[in-house]
Structure 1
Amino acid sequence: MIVALGSNRPGDHRSSEALLEAALSLFPQAGLPLLARSRWWRSAAWPDPNGDEYRNGIAIVETNDPPQAVLAQLFAIERRFGRRRGVPNAPRTLDLDLIAHGRLVVDEPGLILPHPRAAARLFVMGPLAEVAPGWRHPVNGATAGALAASATVGRDAAPIPTPGCPGEGRDPS
């Protein structure tokens, strides 16, 4: 299962990276053990590039839970970090998006898998290509590497060097 993490408001943490690390540390107790993770990436705020810069990354986790249950766990973690959902694309302390759950294709109220806009976002596909370049999109069949190369949103996204986090791990395919 693939989860995208993002933040441009550090809340009570010294930085958005610190907040993202703290959020990631809660995944195992939420029943989402971490298999791999990317480095943190930086990108301009979107859709308004005048806002605070974002930090983004990808986590690959293992679970047998259905996607609806996983989404509920992710939303619970977001709330612990002060996230209040409301205005789309608004600045936020923590954003956790379920990008893919195995090869499942779902289109129901409140849940679309794979994530409908992830394939076009370099700040999602870049980190995913870092840890699982051969991952294939369940609908269009393109690899994470190819999707990162053709992404049209967040073209300024770039990895932040992170000692001890080479962005290696198990491919979720």
Structure 2
Amino acid sequence: MKFLKSGLEALDEVTVIALGSNMAGGYPSSEALLEAALARFPGARLPVLARSGWWRSAAWPDPGEPEYRNGVALVETSLRPRAVLEALFSIERGFGRTRGAANAPRTLDLDLIACGREVIDAPGLVLPHPRAHERLFVMGPLAEIAPGWVHPTLGRSAAELVVTATVGADAIPI
């Protein structure tokens, strides 16, 4: 695991990406798939500064589906937010992701959580991610590597948000 060592002011400039999977595809496990996805970030101009460990949680809204594995990466990039999103979609497609029904099982789910302190509300791109602060499987891994990261609109740190997150309340590090 790689942890962010720089000061809190550096957190205002990082891009936060959440990773998730509950279908391993051709990999031995979802964790192996997620590791392979992270390995593609630098080639997409998304060099990883820090990354969390993997967390597990029941599938939502149907806990009968396979469990999820989730984590968070902090990246440094000169790409604009829309270009970051397109890079993430490209990586997802490379792992067999097809977008269909909401909350359906998937090989790879890459969510753009925040790009520095930017606030955007445009078709197809809302930053910060409108529900990330409610998700323990996002806030837990984020607080693990960057507890001082502050949500751009809520003004609360990852360490504070992890306590109030209610979606995926069963999420735990593995």
Same fold (TM over 0.5): yes
Aligned residue for 1:154, secondary structure, equals coil
Q: Which residue of 1 aligns with 2:78?
A: 64
5+ residue gaps in structure 1? 161-173
Q: Which runs of 4+ in 1 moved over 3 A?
A: none
Percentage of matched positions with identical amino acids? 69
Residue-pair matches, total: 160
Quote how far apart the aligned CAs of 1:64 are.
Answer: 1.1
TM-score using structure 1 length: 0.92
5+ residue gaps in structure 2? 1-14
Quote how far apart the aligned CAs of 1:31 are.
Answer: 0.4
Amino acid at match of 2:95: F
Cα distance in 2 for residues equivalent to 1:70 and 1:86: 21
Cα distance in 1 for residues equivalent to 2:133 and 2:61: 17
The match for 2:144 among 108, 111, 130 is 130
1:117 aligns with 2:131: yes
Cα distance in 1 for residues equivalent to 2:63 and 2:108: 18
Correspondence 1:155-166 to 2 at 5 A: 155-160=169-174
Cα distance in 2 for residues equivalent to 1:6 and 1:127: 11
Quote how far apart the aligned CAs of 1:24 are.
Answer: 0.2
TM-score using structure 2 length: 0.91
Cα distance in 1 for residues equivalent to 2:30 and 2:98: 17
1:31 aligns with 2:45: yes
1:12 aligns with 2:17: no
Aligned residues: CA RMSD: 0.4
